[in-house]
């Protein structure tokens, strides 16, 4: 009988493990699977075991291709199974092509005359996943807010950062989830960052990888009404609940999707953007709607200078008497602009709610995650 031996953490069993066990078992007549004990997992991975050792042993033993299960309790990293291996004296130690402990395992094989076999990479039967990926997905939030920005947008992109400048933004409700997304897509509200976080991925790494900035994942994770220092990484200067914005915000859908990465390298007035961020910061620090509106108006002037279309209420747009009667204080495109949603600020709930009776408008509220 040709005995095969494999080892690993196998903390959360997934289809990739099953495929590996199948391929290893095909090398002989008997497969022994060794998994790292809870103590070993904590020592080398700083992670609690997903199951007690006896439960994990029973789960592995129930797999049809597994003939025997042992628990690795040795504290030497990479070969916690040494004692069992020397006792069982298998004919083959099978490993994957990316095994990090080849030297130690080859030496162990020589002690019992076992063959060291590297299983070739084969096309996965399922989309590859790791235990780390699974843990991240389990820990991911069930819902997330999106965000609106008031001033300083683009100063969160590392290559456009300005010393002494600020980015001002706020999370909003309704929230989104993997099953419910009550907003248009590609709309300038930080949806790609929220989607990454809902799927257990690092939102900041994801957004920076797109060549844009960190403000979306930073504010979505932090929540509330926030002021950030411009720079290569998020640095929070101050945060409030944003309660003074209650009943004052609405979104207007322009009818056109947009791509922030597509306009990231366009020439723009960074001095004007810095000024808008500074004005919006004062509005947040003083919880003053008019001062925050001044920052929004300054942001919109920069956007119009970049060639963005005039929004309703702008003198360059078609007449909007119904909206004018609602007395909006300020408006601007969200995110990179050139389509997507626009943010409108109103002096109170009556005007905001009246505007939301008009085509394209919808109410939003500031969102602050409650601790505990």
3-state secondary structure 23-49: HHHCCCCEEEEEEECHHHHHHHHCCCC
Distance CA 115, CA 35 (A): 20
Mean pLDDT of the region 97-123: 92
Asked if residue 325 has pLDDT above 70, the reply is: yes
Judge whether residue 48 has pLDDT over 90: no
Domains 3-136 and 140-366 in one fold: no
Third-level CATH fold of 3-136? Rossmann fold (3.40.50)
Which among 144, 151, 153 is positioned nearest to 171, based on CA atoms?
A: 144
Could you read off the pLDDT of 341-355 as tens digits, one per residue?
999 999 999 999 999
Domain ranges of the chain: 3-136, 140-366
| φ, ψ (nearest 5 deg) of residue 350 | -60, -50
The set of residues, in sequence order, having a beta carbon less than 8 Å from that of 119 and lying 6+ positions away, is: 20, 23, 24, 94, 95, 96, 97
The 10s digit of each residue's pLDDT in 205-222 is 766 666 678 999 999 999
Distance (Å, whole) CA 18 – CA 13:
8
- What share of the chain in percent tops pLDDT 90? 74
Q: What is the pLDDT of residue 252?
A: 97
Selected residue with higher pLDDT from 138 and 231: 231
Region 6-26: what's the mean pLDDT? 92
Whole-angstrom distance, CA of residue 189 vs CA of residue 73 = 49
> Can you read off the two tokens belonging to residue 253?
């859908």
What percent of the chain has pLDDT above 70?
94
The pLDDT tens digits of the residues spanning 170-196 come to 999 999 999 999 999 999 999 988 998
Is 0.85 surpassed by the pTM of this model? no
Non-local (6+) Cβ contacts of 286 within 8 A are none
Architecture of the 140-366 domain: 2-Layer Sandwich (3.30)
Distance, in Å, from the CA atom of 97 to the CA atom of 81, rounded to the nearest integer, reads 19
Confidence grade of residue 313 (pLDDT, cut at 50, 70, 90): confident
Band of pLDDT at residue 370, cut at 50, 70 and 90: confident
Looking at every residue in the chain, the average pLDDT score rounds to 92
Using 50, 70 and 90 to split pLDDT, how confident is the model at 318?
confident
Angle between helices 215-222 and 191-198 (to 10 degrees): 60
Q: What per-residue confidence (pLDDT) applies to 296?
A: 98
């Amino acid at each position: 009988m040709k005995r095969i031996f494999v080892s690993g953490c196998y903390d959360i069993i997934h289809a990739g493990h099953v495929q590996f066990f199948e391929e290893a078992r095909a090398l002989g007549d008997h497969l022994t699977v060794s998994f790292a004990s809870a103590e070993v997992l904590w020592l080398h991975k700083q992670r609690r075991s997903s199951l007690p050792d006896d439960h994990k042993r029973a789960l592995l033993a129930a797999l049809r291709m597994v003939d025997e299960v042992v628990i690795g309790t040795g504290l030497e990293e990479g070969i916690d199974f040494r004692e069992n291996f020397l006792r069982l004296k298998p004919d083959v130690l099978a490993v994957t092509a990316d095994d990090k402990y080849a030297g130690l395992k080859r030496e162990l094989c020589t002690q019992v005359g076992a063959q060291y076999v590297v299983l070739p990479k084969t096309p996965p039967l399922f989309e590859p996943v790791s235990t780390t990926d699974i843990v991240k997905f389990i820990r991911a939030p069930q819902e997330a807010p999106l965000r609106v920005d008031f001033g300083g947008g683009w100063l969160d992109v590392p290559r456009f950062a300005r010393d002494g400048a600020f980015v001002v933004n706020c999370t909003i409700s309704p929230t989104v989830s993997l099953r419910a997304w009550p907003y248009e897509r590609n709309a300038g509200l930080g949806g790609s960052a929220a989607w990454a976080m809902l799927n257990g991925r690092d939102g900041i790494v994801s957004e920076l990888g797109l060549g844009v900035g960190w403000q979306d994942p930073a504010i979505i994770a932090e929540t509330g009404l926030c002021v950030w220092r411009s720079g290569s990484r998020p640095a929070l200067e101050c945060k409030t609940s944003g309660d003074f914005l209650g009943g004052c915000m609405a979104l207007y859908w322009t009818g056109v999707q947009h791509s922030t990465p597509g306009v990231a390298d366009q020439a723009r007035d960074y001095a004007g953007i810095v000024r808008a961020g500074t004005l919006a910061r004062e509005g947040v620090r003083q919880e003053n709607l008019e001062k925050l509106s001044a920052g929004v108006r300054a942001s919109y002037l920069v956007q119009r200078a970049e060639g963005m279309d005039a929004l309703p209420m702008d003198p360059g747009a078609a007449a909007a008497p119904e909206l004018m009667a609602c007395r909006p204080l300020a408006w601007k495109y969200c995110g990179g602009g050139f389509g997507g949603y626009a943010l409108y600020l109103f002096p109170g709930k009556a005007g905001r709610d009246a505007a939301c009776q008009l085509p394209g408008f919808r109410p939003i509220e500031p969102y602050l995650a409650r601790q505990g």
